[in-house]
Amino acid sequence: MSHLLQSTFIPTTPTTLRRRSVFPTAHLRRTHVVESKIREIFMPALSSTMTEGKIISWMKTEGDKLAKGESVVVVESDKADMDVESFYDGYLASIIVPEGSSAPVGSPIALLAESEDEISLAKSKTPTPTSTSTPAAAEAVTEEVSTVAAAVTVTSSSDTGPVKVVSSIHPASEGGKRVVASPYAKKLAKELGLDLRGVVGSGPNGRIVAKDVEAAAGSAPIGVAAAAKPSGGAPVAPAVELGTTVPFTTMQNAVSRNMVESLAVPTFRVGYTITTNALDALYKKVKSKGVTMTALLAKATALALVKHPVVNSSCRDGKSFTYNSSINIAVAVAIDGGLITPVLQDADKVDLYSLSRKWKELVDKARAKQLQPHEYTTGTFTLSNLGMFGVDRFDAILPPGTGAIMAVGASQPTLVGTKDGQIGMKNQMQVNVTADHRVIYGADLAAFLQTLAQIIEDPKDLTL
């Protein structure tokens, strides 16, 4: 669900104090003063941890008419890009914070006029933007504009307020008309070497979405798509200019704050070795039905947490802890420029196949930076899996506000001793759990891991 833009009313006719008349009021004519309405549009708080937002793209230009509930701007929060809707009817009179710039939550990013006649008045009231963009970020924006041969000039006008950077041709425009695309569509188009000006959007109000880019790339000349891909089969790392200092992105800032906050929590770690032969066999049977290993691990973990609710608890104030009523498994996912933890809600109650479908949906939304806050902030227990990279064991940092996180390593063939004294080969994986020691103790984790191992080594309950 898109978020609504918050705005406040700015009266354009000042209220005056009048002295009480000594004459009879019956002979006085009442004068009705009509005030024009110019509203400030604020940077919304799209999550509980968001302190600032970055303007990805304005879906409307200055002077455009807006209807209540209509998408106006795409804002990058600390974890996702979100369409933000207007809370009022009116006209987008003045954009204070341009695309590519950031602003603190609650600061004005644009002005909304009630009528078309008040647009010029709103422009005259445009405040100086409180953008938090760095010079390095500004240089990056300038460089991006120059790559599409846009003539960039700096102009100052008394009608438009502060000095701003303008271009004769917008990077995603044709004939001066803007082409609005989702952030993921823009990224995909850049990777494919596709010019968005020739793509027809199928999204709301003609917005270009990822499937439009993919369709256009499929019908484009071979040379267009091939130009963006190297001839070799090995992946090519993105070009990085060594010796440069790069500012954190909004997401990296959020990750940094969370990691520093986690240092205040006293944690401890417990490891366990689990045999996965039965789980691997089950995975081979259900893989063709769309079931993922992530869903299997999440389901097994959720069923174990049902029997050990203290491991699913959380302490936020240092004085009490909460036995969470739901088992919501957050799973760490690496995305471009950061890390996010989509949440499989009520994982103990949802069947394995529905859980797998939900997981695919969440991953697609995470990579497109379209997750809603409740889809990544409601986890009660976290999984972090590096097994697909061949990592056999590692420790994970406890996310603030949760009781435990489990690091899962790769399942590998291992020589083990059997009960009858023989030597055999079994697939085994290492898991390490990091927990909040204010709430969870060593015996709690040991019991939880024993239950988890029993479920994984005899996984018949996972498909019920």
DSSP letter for 26, please.
Answer: G
Distance from C-alpha of 343 to C-alpha of 362, rounded to nearest angstrom: 8
Q: Which residues, in sequence order, are CB contacts of 164 under 8 Å at separation 6+?
A: 98, 154, 155
| Residue with the two structure tokens 């004519």 | 29
Give the number of other Cβ atoms within 10 Å of residue 300's Cβ.
Answer: 24
CA distances from residue 225 to 43, 222, 230, 456 in whole angstroms, order as listed: 37, 6, 11, 44
Pairing of the two strands 338-340 and 343-344: unpaired
Burial of 260 (C-beta count, 10 Å sphere; 0-12/13-18/19+): exposed
Burial of 316 (0-12, 13-18, 19+ CB in 10 A): exposed
121 burial level (CB within 10 Å; 0-12, 13-18, 19+): middle
Task: Tell me the two tokens of residue 1.
Answer: 């669900």
DSSP, collapsed to helix, strand or coil, labels residue 255 as: helix
Distance between CA atoms of 404 and 435, rounded to whole angstroms? 4
CA distance 252 to 256: 6
CA-wise closest residue to 6 among 77, 121, 105: 105
Say whether 437 is catalytic: yes
Closest CA to 97 of 177, 161, 148: 161
Catalytic site residue from 170, 308, 374, 437: 437
For the purposes of burial, counting CB atoms within 10 Å of the CB of 203, is it exposed (0-12), middle (13-18) or buried (19 or more)?
middle
Which residues belong to the active site? 437
